[in-house]
């Protein structure tokens, strides 16, 4: 959903444009199941806990319950952890990246029947509305993000032994037993977000592309840009092991502290790159993107920005005839293609999950991911 951010930003209330829950979603209480599962829950910023909570139950005929095989901690989960995004109810089960097997289903579910192993996008979608029919599943009128419950409304997340999935047939994608959980997790969010960044940027074969920020989304965008036929992919970051990783994926590494502008001018006959993928989420990165994009080029920003105003002026856009494209990736619309691409190229991302931890160790996982200790690039949570 969001790139791994570079700095800690200022706390900002989620605005109406970044609502996690569609306004058309009914609000309801969460009936409690008869048995108790383990889950990672939000208590307060900097205070997450693995606790016992009631099992989720099927609430609607189109719901299923998935027994989670593995979940992941996302860069955007850190926004909640740091208190940058606020409004989450205490007790919310966190996490929007998970994969597992359906264990119970409402009577209207046809495809995602019990026993089906599934990949899940980070948002729910109905599959029928205007947005869904056009592949803009992230803006479905019944969209909800897993792991966001606010004032009693919303959807609990997948960093748990069980998770309820509404609109299961439209949302979930059945997957083969041979697909490693790591690839299913990447397809559900960060890889689809990287692919979306490349596609909304309009990357064409022969293009020069720059990717700012080499967190998991940036790394996936490198892979997707190379697969799209980019002539050169400049991968820009200040962390050495991230630059090395991007180089292994086929990028030209550029240290942020070095003369980025001179390097890119040198490689593009002085023009700048055709497309910049800004996978940082901070205004400084938007400004750097503006400096290195060519006239008539595109800046593609797939991540959440929390600053109160747009970092560029209308004059800056005008002076370069720029296209700026932003927005949440419609991960469901990309899921099958992401899985196919990951099946071929996913081995290159081996090592992206630097830490495999148990659900009980999740609070420590958030801590080391946030502080980037132990060269942490992404945390996978296995169920005990
Ligand atoms: Zn995510
Ligand atoms: Zn829809």
User: What domains appear along the chain, each with residue ranges and CATH number?
Assistant: 16-189+330-382 (3.90.180.10), 192-326 (3.40.50.720)
Q: How far is the CA of 238 from the centre of ligand 1 (A)?
A: 22
Q: Tell me the mean pLDDT in the region 68-81.
A: 94
Query: pLDDT tens-digit profile of 134-161?
Result: 999 999 999 999 999 999 999 999 999 9
Local confidence band at 77 (pLDDT 50, 70, 90 cut-offs): very high
Q: Tell me the mean pLDDT in the region 236-242.
A: 93
pLDDT at 13: 37
Q: Tell me the mean pLDDT in the region 213-232.
A: 96
Local confidence band at 22 (pLDDT 50, 70, 90 cut-offs): low
Q: How far is the CA of 62 from the centre of ligand 2 (A)?
A: 13
Q: How far is the CA of 190 from the centre of ligand 1 (A)?
A: 6
Give the ligand at the shortest distance from the Cα of 188: 1
Q: How far is the CA of 127 from the centre of ligand 2 (A)?
A: 5
Percentage of the chain beyond pLDDT 70 is 91
pLDDT at 27: 56
Query: pLDDT tens-digit profile of 323-358?
Result: 999 999 999 999 999 999 999 888 888 788 999 999
pLDDT at 299: 98
Q: How far is the CA of 331 from the centre of ligand 2 (A)?
A: 13
Higher pLDDT, 14 or 76: 76
Give the ligand at the shortest distance from the Cα of 136: 2
The first and second tokens of residue 168, run together, are: 């299961």
pLDDT at 274: 98
Higher pLDDT, 23 or 128: 128
* pLDDT averaged over every residue in the chain: 91
Q: Tell me the mean pLDDT in the region 176-188.
A: 95
Q: How far is the CA of 133 from the centre of ligand 2 (A)?
A: 7
Around ion ligand 2, residues with a beta carbon closer than 5 Å are 125-126, 129, 132, 140
pLDDT at 181: 95
Q: What is the ipTM of this complex?
A: 0.98
């Amino acid at each position: 959903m969001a790139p791994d951010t570079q700095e800690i930003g200022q706390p900002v209330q989620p605005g109406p444009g970044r609502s996690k829950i569609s306004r058309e979603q009914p609000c309801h209480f969460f009936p409690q199941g008869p048995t108790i599962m383990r889950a990672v829950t939000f208590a307060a910023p900097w205070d997450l806990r693995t606790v016992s909570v009631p099992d989720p139950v099927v609430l609607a005929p189109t719901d299923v319950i998935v027994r989670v095989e593995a979940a992941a901690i996302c860069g955007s989960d850190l926004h909640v952890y740091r208190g940058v995004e606020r409004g989450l109810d205490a007790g919310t089960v966190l996490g929007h990246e998970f994969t597992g097997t359906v264990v119970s289903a409402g009577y209207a579910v046809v495809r995602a029947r019990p026993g089906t192993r599934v990949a899940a996008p980070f948002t729910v979608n109905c599959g029928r509305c205007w947005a869904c029919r056009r592949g803009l599943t992230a803006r479905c009128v019944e969209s909800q993000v897993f792991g966001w419950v606010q004032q009693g409304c919303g959807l609990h997340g997948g960093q748990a032994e069980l998770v309820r999935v509404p609109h299961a047939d439209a949302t979930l994608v059945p997957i083969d037993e041979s697909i490693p959980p790591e690839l299913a997790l990447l397809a559900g969010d960060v890889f689809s977000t990287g692919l979306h960044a490349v596609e909304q940027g309009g990357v064409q074969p022969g293009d020069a592309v720059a990717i700012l920020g080499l967190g998991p989304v940036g790394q996936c965008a490198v892979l997707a840009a190379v697969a799209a036929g980019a002539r050169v992919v400049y991968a820009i970051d200040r962390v050495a092991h991230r630059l090395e990783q991007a180089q292994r994926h086929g990028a030209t590494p550029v240290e942020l502290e070095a003369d980025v502008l001179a390097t890119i001018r040198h490689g593009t006959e002085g023009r700048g790159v055709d497309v910049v993928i800004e996978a940082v989420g901070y205004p400084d990165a938007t400004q750097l993107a503006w400096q290195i994009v060519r006239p008539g080029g595109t800046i593609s920003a797939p991540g959440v920005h929390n600053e109160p105003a747009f970092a560029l002026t209308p004059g800056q856009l005008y002076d370069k005839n720029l296209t700026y494209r932003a927005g949440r990736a419609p991960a469901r619309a990309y899921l099958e293609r992401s899985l196919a691409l990951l099946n071929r190229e996913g081995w290159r991302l081996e090592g992206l999950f630097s830490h495999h931890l148990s659900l009980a160790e999740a609070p420590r996982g958030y801590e080391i991911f946030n502080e980037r200790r132990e060269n942490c690039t992404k945390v996978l949570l296995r169920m005990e």
